[in-house]
Amino acid sequence: MLGLKFLAIMRRDLKKLTRNPITLMATVLMPIVYLVIIGNSFQGQLKHLPVIIVQQDQGIYARRIVEQLLALQAGPKTVDVTFESNIGEAIDDARDGHYKGVVVIPAGFSHAVAEGRIAQIGLFTDNVDAISSGTLEAALAQAAATVHVSFVTAREPKLNEISLRPSWLFPYVDYDRSLIPGVIVMAIFMGSLMSGVFNWVMDKFLGVTECYLVTPLSRWDIAGGVLASGVTVTSVAAVFVLFLGLLITRGRVEGGLVALLMLIGIIIISSTGLLAMTFALLGRAGHPRLVGTFSGFLNVILFFPSGAIYPVESFPPWLRAFAHYNPETHSVSAIKSILFKGADFAAVRGDIAFLLIFMAIMLVLASVSFKRTL
């Protein structure tokens, strides 16, 4: 009987949502509009981009390159420099997202400069973040200009030979496509409001919830049905936005079916967590207007510090600290790693663990705040 009552509430809520197609269309279309607009308007000067240097040459010109990068760290704070002796470990760290780029100064670099030959510097960049990649290339060009040498990006060494060919750590991702993870998270947030707490507050405002109070339904039946309905609608909308965004930008999911299933799982977890959060914060509101007013503010403080548009590393310290505990930051990070880098579960387990803990806490808070009263 508990399951049947639970499903009855869920079916009733879904039927009501289907009678309001404008709301459902807004959940899907508005994030796509943001994708087009933000993709052509949002720019900025980046700072504190983590870079790892592999210095295989100890000559004077190699030291000069390092000194210039350290000057960029101390002055305009464009980069945060770390040193590593093993090029393989450095590249693996960059692939895992710990660094935005790897600078390799090969053995014989200073000797080539001294002989008047063109010396080259290896640069591996996390090209999934197109803005960071371009900024690092410009910063290294500035450092290289001090010794009048040119550099090109480098592939990984093969058969003990360093091939200095233009390349990136990951398949090419243009700026518009790099915004897809953020657009998905935006769809989740909008869906959590439109199909979740806004619906509930509107029902209270119109007196619909009073009908529940004369039935044997417990507050768990009501809350569970409304939440399940919202998660269903929001997750479906977010998955639709994923495919529509890939279609518009002509992208694909790196990693195949397994990666796609992981993406759907992250979308469902994120949807449940954000839905529960909005219920915990706004479920007791007495008028839908309060939900609309507060949701705009909540969207700004969660979305823009999430790293969806601007690298988290370039935020001021207080905002970086907030972003660390922002659920949308972890959703964007996990989706971006799986979607563009073909990351496996081990690479995103930290983000998934945070989202699961956040979801559990929000569900508890939402259940506590939910009352079976007028």
Please indicate, yes or no, whether residues 294 and 364 belong to a single structural domain of this protein: yes
Are residues 261 and 362 located together in one domain of the fold? yes
- Of the chain, the end-to-end C-alpha distance in Å amounts to 25
User: Within this chain, do residues 15 and 76 fall inside the same structural domain, yes or no?
Assistant: no
3-state class (DSSP) for residue 202 = helix
What is 106-157 written as a DSSP string? -TTHHHHHHTTPPP--EEEE-TTSHHHHHHHHHHHHHHHGGGT------PPP
Q: Averaged over 75-99, what is the pLDDT?
A: 85
Q: What is the pTM of this model?
A: 0.70
Residues 199 and 54 in one domain: no
Residue 351's pLDDT is what?
92
State pLDDT tens for residues 37-60: 455 445 556 778 888 988 888 888
Residues 281-296 have pLDDT tens digits of 877 776 776 777 677 7
Give the model's confidence band at 369: pLDDT under 50 very low, under 70 low, under 90 confident, else very high: confident
Is position 335 within any domain? Answer: yes
213 in a structural domain? yes
Q: pLDDT for 287-336, tens place per residue?
A: 776 777 677 777 777 887 888 877 887 777 888 888 889 999 999 999 98
Domain match, 93 and 196 both: no
Residue 152 lies in a domain: no
- Whether residue 310 sits in one domain with residue 286: yes
Identify whether residues 208 and 315 lie together within a single domain: yes
Same domain, 54 and 22: no
252: three-class secondary structure by DSSP: coil
The answer to the question of residue 345 being in a domain is: yes
Q: What is the pLDDT of residue 36?
A: 58
Cα separation, 161 vs 66, in Å, equals 23
* Domain final residue, candidates 147, 170, 189: 147
The last residue of one of the domains, among 104, 125, 147, is 147
Residue 161 is classified by DSSP as: B
**Of the residues 95, 127, 147, which one is the last residue of a structural domain?**
147
Number of structural domains found in the chain? 2
Using alpha carbons, select from 178, 159, 195, 365 the residue that is nearest to residue 295.
195
Does 14 reside within a domain? yes
Q: Report residue 169 as tokens.
A: 């750590």
List, for residues 234-278, the tens digit of each pLDDT value. 888 899 999 988 888 888 887 778 889 999 999 999 999 988 888
pLDDT exceeds 60 at position 15: yes
Q: Which domain holds residue 6?
A: 2-39+179-369
Same domain, 191 and 332: yes
